[in-house]
Amino acid sequence: MSNRVISPVNRREFLEQVGRMSLGTAVAAGLAGATAAGSEPQPSKPWQPVSDRKVRVGIVGYGVCQFGAAFGFQDHPNVEIVAVSDLIPERCRALMKACRCGQSYESLEVLVQDPKIEAVFVATDAPSHPRHCREVLHHGKHVMSAVPAAFGSIEEAEQLLETVQKTGLKYMMAETSCYREDCYAMRQIYRAGGFGRLVYSEGEYYHSSPKPIDSFKGWRIGLPPLWYPTHSTAYYIGVTGKRFTSVSCIGFNAGFPENRPGANRYNNPFSDEVALFQTSEGGSSRMLMCKGVQGYVVEQGRVFGEKGRMDGTRYQGAVKMLPDLARPALPPKVPAGGHGGSHGHLTDEFITSILKDRQPLVNIYEALALTVPGIIAHQSALKGGETLKVPQYNPPQA
């Protein structure tokens, strides 16, 4: 079969047709990225509730990004917000208002003792994520965590894995790229065989930051770039479900004050890191996190396979039938939210995994596969690009 191109010309028409017609007959249609008007593609099927039960949720964290209220838990028909918490009283009051919740606690450690709460969204500072998630799980509650799953520590990553395994509770990392429109489409095409094995892939997180973003106790100041890798690594792990096996990484210093010797708690000299991974498919993958590219803030990726490729929302390949590429429908009052309209989808995925008693998309194994390679990549950068092995985290075989 000859290659055909789906070009970004008429997104809505393509999304209505895709999945029920061959690529050849859909060639005049398109899966485009965000339109000027910011309209969402129409899912092929309306949202259908899987239960009338409400999961009783606690939310912790309302920092600079105000993520505690940004993922739409308070709007989901299968959620009751029981209580919220933030260590800073004025932020806690603001979170109560944003979540339309009348109960608060002074800390996560107190909130998790509430027997009414079944699940907790941990939107706290990144260094605390693994400790906070373990605390939630130890108190018998499911947990969804902001990224990353672990913060520079392989030991903490493995402690979190052990806790999830011992408790048998649901853990999900809310990696936004996994539900960006392009990454979601790539995953569907990959699963349908439209790429074959990936020869090469790229994931890029550029966040121009001449001054550090404000953060709790200054944790972002001098942060090793690939300790925050998941917006990029999702464009391989979140597409294929496969793994990175080794890495060579190069660091770059854009001259920011916080990367001078002794200027940050991490002894990190790099503002930018670019890693080349070998994959378990035998291919290679370039993943980066860069703050030094002036005025550029974007999360994006590309995949190149034996049978097809996709650059952003442009797919070229040869398949007999494309799957449905539209993201699932959201409950009527749940906003798609930020990071490419991913927030609402992540919340719905987590809640649905509890209601249906199944593993969420970004479970503990995928979360560590997205996070830990960045920790190893930073070690490689500190060693001048030395190739290092990446630990493997795979679910037990059924």
Output the domain CATH number for residue 372. 3.30.360.10
Domain contains 215: yes
Q: How far apart are CA 183 and CA 231, in angstroms?
A: 11
Q: What is the pLDDT of residue 131?
A: 98
Cβ pair 216, 270 in contact under 8 A: no
Mean pLDDT of the chain: 89
Q: Please say if the pLDDT value at position 398 is more than 90.
A: no
Q: What is the mean pLDDT of residues 52-72?
A: 95
Q: Please say if the pLDDT value at position 230 is more than 50.
A: yes
- pLDDT tens, residue by residue, 334-353: 999 999 999 999 999 999 99
Number of domains in the chain: 1
Domain contains 210: yes
Q: What is the pLDDT of residue 313?
A: 74
Q: What is the pLDDT of residue 134?
A: 98
Domain contains 291: yes
- pLDDT tens, residue by residue, 260-318: 999 999 999 999 999 999 999 999 999 999 999 999 999 999 999 999 999 977 889 98
Buried b (16+ CB within 10 A) or exposed e, 41-73: beebeeeeeeeeebbbbbbbbbbeeebbbbbbb
| pLDDT bucket at 211, cuts 50 / 70 / 90 | confident
Q: What is the pLDDT of residue 39?
A: 43
Domain contains 134: no
Domain contains 259: yes
Domain contains 345: no
- pLDDT tens, residue by residue, 28-57: 233 433 322 334 556 767 899 999 999 999
Neighbours of 371 (CB within 10 A): 29
Token digits for 317?
A: 């390949």
Q: How far apart are CA 313 and CA 185, in angstroms?
A: 8
Whole-structure pTM value: 0.90
Neighbouring-strand partners of residue 201: 285, 303
Q: Please say if the pLDDT value at position 10 is more than 50.
A: no
Q: What is the pLDDT of residue 42?
A: 67
Domain contains 59: no
Q: What is the mean pLDDT of residues 106-133?
A: 98
Q: What is the mean pLDDT of residues 180-209?
A: 96
Q: Which domain holds residue 312?
A: 179-316+366-389
| pLDDT bucket at 8, cuts 50 / 70 / 90 | very low
Q: How far apart are CA 189 and CA 196, in angstroms?
A: 9
Helix (H, G, I), strand (E, B) or coil at 101: coil
- pLDDT tens, residue by residue, 308-335: 999 977 889 987 788 899 999 999 999 9
- CA 129 → CA 63, 105, 171, 275, 290, distances in Å? 14, 18, 12, 24, 23
Token digits for 251?
A: 């660091």
Q: Please say if the pLDDT value at position 169 is more than 60.
A: yes
Domain contains 146: no
Cβ pair 11, 41 in contact under 8 A: yes
Q: How far apart are CA 338 and CA 336, in angstroms?
A: 7
Q: What is the pLDDT of residue 318?
A: 81
